[in-house]
């Protein structure tokens, strides 16, 4: 799922292409993408784009008359900018936004249709999409600590909770926790002041560094190959590969459709965290620490 760094770079690319342009037409290629009926989607046609913003992991396109297109790409949704001779990608295109400067395609790979498009009228209607999460790059340490400890959760859950922090998901939370050298299952209420500060600095550094990497990678072109698994990540998506810091094999916890990656040596004092399915299956054979694996 595109997270804060990916969304920021998407917005920067869109700013160069559509701010000040007119949205001539919206072509819905999959009717289930649109989740609102009032105002009708035709209300945006002929309106000029005035603003762009991010709300959590959502992209908001503001048009004349306080009309807001709200796009949530979810896991497999992506944006593509089509040139005059480019054809819309077959089968995976859900909508085409035809601007006077070009066409923006919203695509979604796979058979599950989770990406969504809403049309909101006015700031009050737009506010319903804000879960209230703190902006991690705009807060100070005190604000971060207060939000982190508002509820007693695991660090992984706290960082990815949109009510607590805005724009952080599965991928960058893994990278943040590895940089901070903290366990994903450590409880927020048990952190020391030093650990909290370490997490705060790691959050800011990880999100800032990756935003800059993606910005440089795009090189003013429209972002392509937007993925949760990026070359250069320390642990996310690298199960079974060596940690770039200590060389120990990256471990994982799998729950439902989510996977948490971590380095046992760097983050958990060598302890292998229990995977709900495998640890129950293996029972006594389940390795307790990194040395048993090696």
Domains of the chain, residue spans: 4-129, 141-293
The CATH number of 141-293 is 1.10.8.50
pLDDT tens per residue across span 117-168: 999 999 999 999 999 999 999 999 999 999 999 999 999 999 999 999 999 9
Residue with the bigger pLDDT between 36 and 284: it is 36
What average pLDDT does range 263-286 have in this prediction?
70
Architecture of the domain spanning 4-129: Alpha-Beta Barrel (3.20)
* pLDDT for position 278: 44
Position 227 scores a pLDDT of 84
90 φ, ψ to 5°?
A: -65, 145
Largest distance between two CA atoms of the chain: 66
User: How far is it, in rounded angstroms, from Cα 20 to Cα 146?
Assistant: 40
Share of the chain above pLDDT 90, in %: 82
Q: Is the pLDDT of residue 279 over 70?
A: no
Report the distance separating Cα 283 and Cα 274, nearest Å.
Answer: 10
Based on the number of CB atoms within 10 Å of its own CB, is 246 exposed (0-12), middle (13-18) or buried (19 or more)? exposed
Closest CA to 29 of 88, 109, 103: 88
Query: What number of CA atoms fall less than 13 Å from residue 252's CA on the CB side?
Result: 20
């Amino acid at each position: 799922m595109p997270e804060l760094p990916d969304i920021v770079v998407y917005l920067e690319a869109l700013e160069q292409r559509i701010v000040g342009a007119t949205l001539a037409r919206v072509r819905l290629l999959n009717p289930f993408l649109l989740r609102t009926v009032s105002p009708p989607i035709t209300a945006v046609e002929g309106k000029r784009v005035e603003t762009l913003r991010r709300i959590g992991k959502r992209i908001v396109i503001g048009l004349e008359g306080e009309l807001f297109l709200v796009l949530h790409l979810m896991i497999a949704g992506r944006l593509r900018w089509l040139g005059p001779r480019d054809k819309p990608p077959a089968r995976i295109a859900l909508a085409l936004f035809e601007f006077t400067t070009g066409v923006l395609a919203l695509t979604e790979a796979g058979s599950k249709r989770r990406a969504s498009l809403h049309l909101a009228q006015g700031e009050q209607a737009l506010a319903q999409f804000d879960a209230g999460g703190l902006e991690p790059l705009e807060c100070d340490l005190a604000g971060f600590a207060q939000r982190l400890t508002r509820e007693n959760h695991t660090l992984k859950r706290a960082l990815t909770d949109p009510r607590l922090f805005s724009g952080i998901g599965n991928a960058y939370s893994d990278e943040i926790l590895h940089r901070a050298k903290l366990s994903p299952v450590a409880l927020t209420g048990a952190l020391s002041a030093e650990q909290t500060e370490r997490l705060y600095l790691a959050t800011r550094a990880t999100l800032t560094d990756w935003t800059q990497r993606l910005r440089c990678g795009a090189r003013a072109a429209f972002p392509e190959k937007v993925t949760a698994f990026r070359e250069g990540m320390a642990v996310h998506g690298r199960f079974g590969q060596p940690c770039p810091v200590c060389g120990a094999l990256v471990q994982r916890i799998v729950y439902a459709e989510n996977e948490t990656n971590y380095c046992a040596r760097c983050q958990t004092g060598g302890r292998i965290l229990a995977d709900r399915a495998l640890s129950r299956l293996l029972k006594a054979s389940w390795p307790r620490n990194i040395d048993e694996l090696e």
